[in-house]
Chains A and B, each alone.
Chain A
Amino acid sequence: MIAEFGLVALWFAAALAGLQLFAGFLGLREGGEGIAVLARPAALVQALLCGLSFLMLLWLFARTDLSVALVANNSHSAKPMIFKLSGAWGNHEGSMLLWVTVMALAGGLIAFIERRLPERTMLATLGAQAFVALGFYAFLLFASNPFERLAVAPAEGNGLNPLLQDIGLAFHPPTLYFGYVGLSVAFSFVVGALLTRQVTPEFARVMRPWVLGAWVLLTLGIAAGSYWAYYELGWGGWWFWDPVENASLMPWLAATALLHSVSVLAARDALRAWTVMLGVIAFSMSMVGTFLVRSGILTSVHAFAVDPERGSFILALLALNIGGALAIFATRASTVAEGERFSILSREGGLVINNVALSAILGIVLLGTLYPLLTEAFDVRVSVGPPYFNPVGAIFLFPMLLALAIGPLLRWRQDSFARIRRPVIALAVTGVVAVIALWAITGIGILPLLGLALALMVAIGSVLPLRGRSLRRLPLSVWGMVIAHLGVAVTLFGMASDTAFQKERLVAVNVGDVVEVGPWSAQLEAVSPVAGPNWTAIEARLSLRYEGTEVAMANPQARSFWSPPTETSEVALTTRWNGQLYTALGNQAEDGRWQLRLWWKPFVTWIWYGGLLIGLGGVLALLGRVSGDIRRRVADRKIADRRADEAELAAETAS
Chain B
Amino acid sequence: MNTGIKPKHQRLVLLVIALVALVGAGLLAAWALRNQANYFYLPSEIVAEAPGPDEAVRLGGMVEMGSIDTAEDGVTVQFIVGDGEARVPVSFTGIVPALFVEGSGVVAEGSMGADGTFIATNLLAKHDENYMPRELEGMSTEEVRAEIEATLE
Q: Interface residues, chain A, CB within 8 Å of chain B?
A: 161, 163, 234, 298-301, 304, 306, 338, 341-345, 349, 352, 355-357, 359-361, 363-364, 367-368, 371-372, 375-376, 380-385, 387-388, 391-392, 395-396, 414, 416-417, 506-508, 558, 564, 566-569, 584, 586-587, 589-591, 593, 595, 597
A304 touches B130 (CB 8 A): yes
Known: A163-B127, A344-B1. A507 touches B75 (CB 8 A): yes
Docked pose: A363 CA to B5 CA in angstroms: 31
Determine the chain B residues whose CB is within 8 A of the CB of A381 once the complex forms.
Answer: 39-40, 135, 138
Known: A352-B18, A507-B74. A566 touches B25 (CB 8 A): no
Determine the chain B residues whose CB is within 8 A of the CB of A360 once the complex forms.
Answer: 21-22, 24-25
Docked pose: A367 CA to B74 CA in angstroms: 41
A367 touches B26 (CB 8 A): yes
Q: Which single member of A367, A376, A391 contacts B33 (CB below 8 Å)?
A: A367
Determine the chain B residues whose CB is within 8 A of the CB of A382 once the complex forms.
Answer: 37-40
Known: A356-B22, A414-B2. A589 touches B74 (CB 8 A): yes
Task: Determine whether B30 belongs to the interface, using a CB cutoff of 8 Å to chain A.
Answer: yes
Q: Which single member of B5, B14, B24, B37 contacts A352 (CB below 8 Å)?
A: B14
The residue in chain B whose Cβ has the minimal distance to the Cβ of A365 is: B29
Determine the chain A residues whose CB is within 8 A of the CB of B86 once the complex forms.
Answer: none
Task: Determine whether B137 belongs to the interface, using a CB cutoff of 8 Å to chain A.
Answer: yes
Determine the chain B residues whose CB is within 8 A of the CB of A304 once the complex forms.
Answer: 130-131
Q: Which single member of A387, A392, A414, A507 contacts B28 (CB below 8 Å)?
A: A392
Determine the chain A residues whose CB is within 8 A of the CB of B98 once the complex forms.
Answer: 558, 566-569
Q: Interface residues, chain B, CB within 8 Å of chain A?
A: 1-2, 5, 7-8, 10-11, 13-14, 17-18, 21-22, 24-26, 28-30, 32-33, 36-40, 56, 58, 70, 73-75, 93-96, 98-99, 127-135, 137-138
The residue in chain B whose Cβ has the minimal distance to the Cβ of A306 is: B137
B94 touches A392 (CB 8 A): no
Q: Is the interface of A mostly helix, strand, loop or mixed?
A: mixed
The residue in chain A whose Cβ has the minimal distance to the Cβ of B95 is: A586
Docked pose: A255 CA to B14 CA in angstroms: 21
B61 to chain A, nearest CB (A): 13
Determine the chain B residues whose CB is within 8 A of the CB of A372 once the complex forms.
Answer: 37
A383 touches B2 (CB 8 A): no
B74 touches A591 (CB 8 A): yes
Determine the chain A residues whose CB is within 8 A of the CB of B32 once the complex forms.
Answer: 388, 391-392
Docked pose: A298 CA to B98 CA in angstroms: 22
Docked pose: A416 CA to B3 CA in angstroms: 10
Determine the chain B residues whose CB is within 8 A of the CB of A383 once the complex forms.
Answer: 37-38, 40, 58, 134
A220 to chain B, nearest CB (A): 26
Q: Which single member of A301, A589, A591, A595 contacts B127 (CB below 8 Å)?
A: A301
Residue among B8, B75, B130, B131 with most chain A CB within 10 A: B75
